[in-house]
Amino acid sequence: MNNYFVKRFLYLIPTLIGASILIFFLYSLIPGNFIDTDPNLTAERKAELYALYGFDQPTIIRYFIWMGNLFQGDLGYSLQFQRPVTEVLNNYIWSSFIVAFASLFLTWGIAMVIGVISATKQYSFFDSFITILVFGAMAIPSFFLGLIAIKFFAVDLGWFPAGGMTTSGADYTGWAYVKDIAEHMVLPVIVLTMLGIGGLTRYFRTNMLEVVKQDFVRTARAKGLKEKVVIYKHALRNALLPAITLFAFELPALFSGAIITEQIFNWPGIGAIYMQAFSVRDYPLLMGFTMFIAVLTVISNLIADILYGVADPRVRVK
Amino acid sequence: MTQQKPLLSVNHLKTYFQSDDGLVKAVDGINFDVYQGETVCIVGESGCGKSVTAMSIMGLLPDSSTIQGSINLDGEELTKLSKGNMRRIRGNKLSMIFQEPMTSLNPVMTIGEQITEVLLEHQVISKKQAIKKSLELIKLVGIGRGEQIIKSYPHQLSGGMLQRVMIAIALACDPKMLIADEPTTALDVTIQAQVLNLLQDLKEETNMSMLLITHDLGVVAEVADRVVVMYAGKVVEQGTVEEIFTDPKHPYTRGLLQAKPVLGSRKKRLYTIPGQVPKLVDLKPSCYFADRCEHCMEICTQQTPELKCNDNSEHKVACWLYEKEVVHQ
């Protein structure tokens, strides 16, 4: 068992090295960089800046310098912000994280409940109604959904603020501050949840339909168990197994921000920073951030494997 | 035995399904009784309504089916019971084992959990007692190392072991009636005999009744007291096992017996009944076996024969060949 994890852990190393090569060279081999974007610089000044940021070195050497820094926890230096990348990420990532986390929680909770009910009452009124609703929500683009939400809930009804993360000018502390942020979070979270819920509901419904057809569910009924026990104890546990993989993919998504939704609600998240970094070619920031997401993805895959072992005795390694 | 009240009495049972092609009469007006301590076999080809009959008795058919007629178990009319009351009978007084032991158990629950579950559902006992009873049941169905078995998962056991576990689950609450739907079909031939012997022994020990569904006439000869032959949703012949094997009346039963390989006989080719079971949609009144029957007469294609006795015995057959006066039109 322990051997398996050590082995699995060792596999991470080549995967991450591969990812680092791809990420570094993709960004480094593109012609032009942050310094080139400024047309007012003299050739002399340019050469100075090149030397300052290490752009004068051969690309291969730069890769090893970058890697060396990575091992020391240094993701690079953001040219646009003139701060270490880790500091920039740390400043913006958590605001993206709280929105993504709240929406993840809601999406999975609601999708699971609706999916299971839809499956147990296949082709009923509830099932058809939810199907239409869910496809509707999936089909609407986020910018449209976001604007509609702002129009109704922020402008017409005035229930929630239209954008931002805190009320400007207000100087809340303690719980008042938390409440203020929570109020600002509501609309972006609703929009993100609506966007994500469709696919997941269908996924749970399909999984569940697949499982209730299985022989062991019939056996459970033949034992005279209550329908609730049959569905929630026997069927649901089996229907959740394939969702573990899907859940693992959510971990990097928690930190990667929602570019469009953050833009609409003027949310100071990492998605907006990411887009901005592209437009000014702040490659160190982009490389650092992409590498960070790559590490998260690889780790979440490992977590998925471990979770499978816990949840499914057939996968459990002896 | 004949004067006794039957434990299970199925009367005019009709189970229909609505399909895209029309109404499927999967079971079309069948009657049979099972007495206390008796083994009745339902025989027939695939698709003739055997399993649907079993599922109708268990009340496990989907809501899209309609059931008419009566199913009486030990004085209780099962077709009129509420869902909750039916659930209390299932797995308790009336239990069932299935064809595929490999898929019939939940892959993510231990064997122990799956046996105790049925005990805890139907009996007032503590968890500890349930585990103790489970160990006894495992021993009863002839598996050793019970302590280890209750902690294992289905994928760790062989098909034969799993079927024994299924039997343990079915017998957990001392059922009066056990329905076994082709319990040996998915097993190795050597294991088949073991499982059949086990079922037979347990049946004698507990004096329960058994309804065994099979297409294997070897199995029938070994365990049955009485036989019900089904074809296209109808009972075509019914009698004691001796009557069916020594004096088969219906051409279909004769065909089935002829199609059975006999050890030691050196036939070049095994007999097969030509044709297939008809589609059970929009059948015209006729003997449904008519187009496969070598004795087909004019009346066979026009009227449905009734299941009746032609002498004083309990041996019944539904075939125009045995009608004393054939109604000529």
* Contacts B105 to A, Cβ<8 Å: 216, 219
Higher pLDDT among residues B47 and B121, named by residue: B121
What is the C-alpha separation between A143 and A130, in angstroms, rounded? 23
> Does residue A35 have a pLDDT over 80?
no
* Cα–Cα–Cα angle for A6, A10, A12, rounded to 5 degrees: 125
**Shortest distance, CA B106 to any CA of chain A (angstroms):** 5
For range B54-74, the mean pLDDT: 89
Render the burial of B17-37: b for 16+ CB within 10 Å, e for the rest: beeeeeebbbbbbbbbbbbbb
Contacts with B106 from chain A: Cβ below 8 Å: 216, 219-220, 234, 238
The residues, ordered by sequence, that sit 6+ positions from B190 with a Cβ below 8 Å of its Cβ are none
What is residue B1's predicted lDDT score, i.e. its pLDDT?
46
What pLDDT digit, counting tens, does each position of A180-218 carry?
888 888 888 988 888 888 888 989 999 999 998 889 999
Judge whether B96 is closer than 8 Å to chain A, CB to CB.
yes
Give the mean pLDDT of A161-171: 78
Q: Which of B55, B89, B94, B104 to mutate to probe the A interface, most A CBs <10 Å?
A: B104
Kindly state the percentage of chain B with pLDDT values over 70.
Answer: 97
pLDDT tens sequence across B94-133: 999 998 888 999 999 999 999 999 999 999 999 999 999 9
How close A314 comes to chain B (CA, Å)?
7
Of the candidates A219, A227, A241, the beta carbon closest to that of B105 is on A219
Is residue A279 within 8 Å of residue A316, measured between CB atoms? no
Pairing of strands B234-240, B226-231: antiparallel
Could you tell me the pLDDT band of residue A4, with boundaries at 50, 70 and 90? Answer: confident
**Confidence at residue B329, expressed as pLDDT on a 0 to 100 scale:** 43
Instruction: Kindly compute the dihedral angle of the four CA atoms of residues A294, A295, A300, A302, in this order, to the nearest 10 degrees.
Output: 120
A241: β partners: none
Domain ranges of chain B: 8-93+173-322
Domain ranges of chain A: 93-269
3-state secondary structure of B177: strand
Lowest mean pLDDT among B122-131, B206-215, B276-285: B276-285
* Residues from A in contact with B at Cβ < 8 Å: 214-216, 218-227, 229, 234, 237-238, 241, 311-314
Which one is the CATH code of A93-269: 1.10.150.130, 1.10.3720.10, 3.40.470.10, 3.20.20.140?
1.10.3720.10
What rounded mean pLDDT belongs to chain B?
86
Which tokens go with A317? 């390694």
Q: Name which of A221, A225, A313 is nearest B108 (Cβ-Cβ).
A: A313
B151 to chain A, any CB pair closer than 8 A? The answer is no
pLDDT at A51: 80
Backbone angles phi, psi at B66, to 5 degrees: -120, 135
Spatial contact of B273 and B259, defined as CB atoms under 8 Å apart: yes
Please name which of A97, A142, A147, A146 lies closest in space to residue A270, comparing C-alpha atoms: A97
| Cβ within 8 Å, pair A223-B90 | yes
Share of chain A above pLDDT 90, in %: 12
b/e sequence B114-137, b meaning 16+ C-beta within 10 Å: bbbbbbbbbeeeeeeebbebbbeb
Closest CA to B91 of B167, B27, B173: B173
With an 8 Å Cβ cutoff, are B104 and A226 in contact? no
Q: Which residue has the higher pLDDT, A174 or B12?
A: B12
Chain A residues lying within 8 Å of B122, measured CB to CB: 224
* Of A125-139, A143-157, B268-282, minimum mean pLDDT range: B268-282
Task: Examine the pLDDT at B326 and tell me if it is beyond 60.
Answer: no
Q: Average pLDDT of B278-306?
A: 82
Architecture of the domain defined by B8-93+173-322: 3-Layer(aba) Sandwich (3.40)
Residue in chain A nearest B58 by alpha carbon: A222
The span from the CA of B172 to the CA of B136, in Å, is 10
CB-defined contacts A:B, below 8 A: 74
Q: What does the pLDDT read at residue A1?
A: 57
Min Cα distance B150 → chain A (Å) is 14
Instruction: Please give the backbone phi and psi of residue B239, each rounded to the nearest 5 degrees, phi first.
Output: 180, 180
Q: Do A313 and B98 touch (CB under 8 A)?
A: no
Which of A219, A228, A238 to mutate to test binding with chain B, by most B CBs within 10 Å of its CB?
Answer: A219
Which residue from B minimizes the CA distance to A313?
A: B108
- How close does chain B come to A301, measured CA to CA in Å? 22
For residue B113, what pLDDT is reported? 92
The tokens describing B239, both together, are 């009698």
Q: Share the mean pLDDT of chain A.
A: 85
pLDDT attached to residue A317 = 56
Work out the average pLDDT over A251-270.
84
Q: Name the pLDDT band for A93 (thresholds 50, 70, 90).
A: confident
Task: Name the percent of chain A lying above pLDDT 70.
Answer: 98
Question: In this complex, do B106 and A234 lie within 8 Å of one another by their Cβ atoms?
Answer: yes
Condensed to tens digits (0 to 9), the pLDDT of residues B232-249 reads 888 889 999 988 888 888
In the predicted model, what is the mean pLDDT of residues B247-276? 82
Closest CA to B45 of B252, B218, B281: B252
Instruction: List the single best residue of A127, A213, A216, A244 to mutate versus B (max B Cβ within 10 A).
Output: A216
- CB–CB contact B155 A313 (8 Å): yes
Nearest residue in A to B169, CA atom: A223
pLDDT of residue B287: 85
